[in-house]
A and B are shown apart, each in its own frame.
Chain A
Amino acid sequence: MAEPDLSVSIGPLTLKNPLIAASGCIGYGVEYADVVDLSTLGGIAVKGLFLEPREGHSPRRLVETPSGLLNAIGLQGIGVRQFIDEKLPVLHRHRAVVIVNICGSTIGEYAEIARILSDVEGIAALELNISCPNISEGGITFGCSLQGTHDVVEAVRQVTDLPVIPKLTPNVANISSFAKAAENAGADAVSLVNTFLAMAIDISTRRPLLSNVVGGLSGPAIRPIAVRMVYECHEAIDIPVIGMGGIATARDVVEFLVAGATAVQVGTANFEDPMIWPKLRDGLTAYLTEHRHSSVSDVIGSVQIAQNEPSQIGD
């Protein structure tokens, strides 16, 4: 039997496989170019970009929790123009599929960055960060309001032909309504979940461990919640869902695909094992082969739920 086809479609974009490096977890990609063959990834979602450079929060920025990682980096980073001048050519040289994650304090800033990036060659898609829990202005403010989500997506949609992928926050009561709002505003796909707002305290000093007091929780600790949210969103919308949250093995990749994700992003696990990508790809191929699937598309949304089982919260 031939190798199964791993390619997936995200709106107009075809990825060679469904494995994407998650934004905020692989720098600008260029840092990993000596460790990882960037061209073998389905895509790389680079660190979130504002118009201008940002300093981020003071340390301490990271706390390890049981099976989890709590962070408050505060989106330190270079501005969009420096990214285009310095990082993008390196990513192109390594034949990486570049998904640019963009952030804004205002709707206008999202649209401005999208406009700048739309004039540049070699960008595969725009991921809209409307879900970072670690900055006070913009970001999650839009992602926690249905109108805000709609307005950011619509504003970016009007200025670009690139695929638009809003990244949703799990810090809402009903995430599928936000997926629906994004779809109605013209999104090509949605990605979820960003981190869960969380906190850790040093009981000897009774001070929060993070300088920002609160941060975002990622890692295997959040995975079952993320799987549930991917499942709910897949049920609610017709555009693709890109799933993420604690994926650490090929088994986890398959679980998200079965729940309804068309592609997945991997973040925290890449910190522990930067060589994870071929393992995930080989494991996915092995699963598809074992279950006699010719294409990864066969398993997307294939979760088996009987008629009499509840499919919605509260049923």
Chain B
Amino acid sequence: MLVDVDARVLANRHLSDTYNILELEAPTIAAKCRPGQFVMVKTALGQEPLLRRPFSVFERLRDRHGLLIGISLLSKRIGKVTQDLFAVEPDEYIRCLGPLGKHFTIVEPPMSAWMVAGGVGLAPFATLAEALSELHTNTTLFYGGRTSADLYHLSFFQKLGVRIILTTEDGSRGEPGRITEPLKRELQTTNGRSAMIYACGPTPMMQSVAELGANANRPTEVSLEPIMGCGLGGCYSCVVPVRNDDTKSQSHFVRSCLEGPVFSGTEIIWPNLI
């Protein structure tokens, strides 16, 4: 079941002058959401912006008794909405509709789980790591950013027993270069062992991960972030090209709010994805 709530801001944690984690009081959404699902967020009461924006649910928040009280969003300041989310103060309210969309497949042992995150693409992996941990699935996080300042929240994953592999493009932390490089090596050294690869980040990164996974016969799931109008299947703005089940036509547009945002990496026709 999905709800639309005026969620009270519990805290706004600034991680840097660009990234923040916004904690929202939304117990129903917290209770219902599965890893990979998203919410549609409205920051302003007026018409700037007019539409809501989609955000992955980052964490499910609990009080000190362990009861679910809300969710958090991981946001990177790039436009009007993310600027508003960066500036919002505790006890203000944010309109929040969700949970929406398809969730990740949660794999169990003996399969292991590899999560590949680029920058703010870390967002869906906190709840995923928790769900994998509950099933005692061996989990690795491949996490890449431009600089060390782009890498966050590592202790959360460490506490869950997640193995962490870091890269930065400027070499300021972890291995210098792109996150797909250690992934490639890992695929070679663990040849034959079964792992589900999850990816979220810039589209070229997700495409690389999908191709690496396909070549190594590993299943992949990617979390796409197209421009969305409504999040409910009403507007047909957020379509992505997928392979058709029948062979009559090669590509078919599907609504990522309903059929996604999580897709199998082999399902997406990457060259047609803009």
Residues of A within 8 A of B (CB): 24-27, 31-32, 34-35, 47, 55-56, 58-62, 64, 66-69, 71, 73, 76-77, 211, 219-220, 248, 268, 270-275
Question: Is B51 an interface residue when CB atoms closer than 8 A count as contact?
Answer: yes
Task: Please indicate the chain A residues that have their CB under 8 angstroms from the CB of B251 in the complex.
Answer: 55
Among B52, B236, B237, B238: residue with most chain A CB under 10 A: B236
Across the interface, do B232 and A274 meet the contact criterion of CB distance under 8 Å? yes
20 A-B pairs with CB atoms under 8 Å apart are A24-B235, A25-B234, A27-B233, A31-B258, A32-B233, A34-B1, A56-B253, A61-B236, A61-B239, A62-B235, A62-B237, A66-B48, A67-B48, A69-B50, A71-B229, A220-B50, A271-B52, A271-B229, A271-B230, A272-B52
Across the interface, do A25 and B227 meet the contact criterion of CB distance under 8 Å? no
Cα distance A248–B46 in the bound complex, in angstroms: 11
Partner of B274, one of A32, A67, A211: A211
Residues of B within 8 A of A (CB): 1-2, 4, 42, 47-52, 97, 226-227, 229-230, 232-240, 249, 251-253, 258, 272, 274
Partner of B235, one of A59, A60, A73: A73
Q: Are A32 and B253 also in contact (CB < 8 A) when A56-B239, A220-B47, A220-B50 are?
A: no
Residue of B whose beta carbon sits closest to that of A66: B48
Across the interface, do A31 and B234 meet the contact criterion of CB distance under 8 Å? yes
Q: Are A67 and B47 also in contact (CB < 8 A) when A73-B235, A73-B237 are?
A: yes
Task: Output the least CB separation between A144 and chain B (Å).
Answer: 24
Across the interface, do A219 and B50 meet the contact criterion of CB distance under 8 Å? yes
The 5 A-B residue pairs with the shortest CB-CB distance in the complex, in nearest-first order: A31-B233, A62-B237, A271-B230, A67-B47, A61-B237
Partner of B236, one of A64, A76, A248: A76
Across the interface, do B227 and A62 meet the contact criterion of CB distance under 8 Å? yes
Partner of A58, one of B42, B51, B227, B274: B274
Task: Please indicate the chain A residues that have their CB under 8 angstroms from the CB of B48 in the complex.
Answer: 66-67
Residue of B whose beta carbon sits closest to that of A68: B50
Among B42, B51, B52, B252: residue with most chain A CB under 10 A: B51
Task: Output the least CB separation between A210 and chain B (Å).
Answer: 11
Task: Please indicate the chain A residues that have their CB under 8 angstroms from the CB of B42 in the complex.
Answer: 272
Cα distance A80–B249 in the bound complex, in angstroms: 20
Task: Please indicate the chain A residues that have their CB under 8 angstroms from the CB of B235 in the complex.
Answer: 24-25, 27, 62, 71, 73, 271
Partner of A26, one of B1, B234, B237, B249: B234
Task: Please indicate the chain B residues that have their CB under 8 angstroms from the CB of A58 in the complex.
Answer: 272, 274
Across the interface, do B50 and A64 meet the contact criterion of CB distance under 8 Å? yes
Cα distance A120–B138 in the bound complex, in angstroms: 55
Task: Please indicate the chain A residues that have their CB under 8 angstroms from the CB of B249 in the complex.
Answer: 55
Across the interface, do B234 and A67 meet the contact criterion of CB distance under 8 Å? no
Task: Please indicate the chain B residues that have their CB under 8 angstroms from the CB of A24 in the complex.
Answer: 235
Across the interface, do A34 and B253 meet the contact criterion of CB distance under 8 Å? no
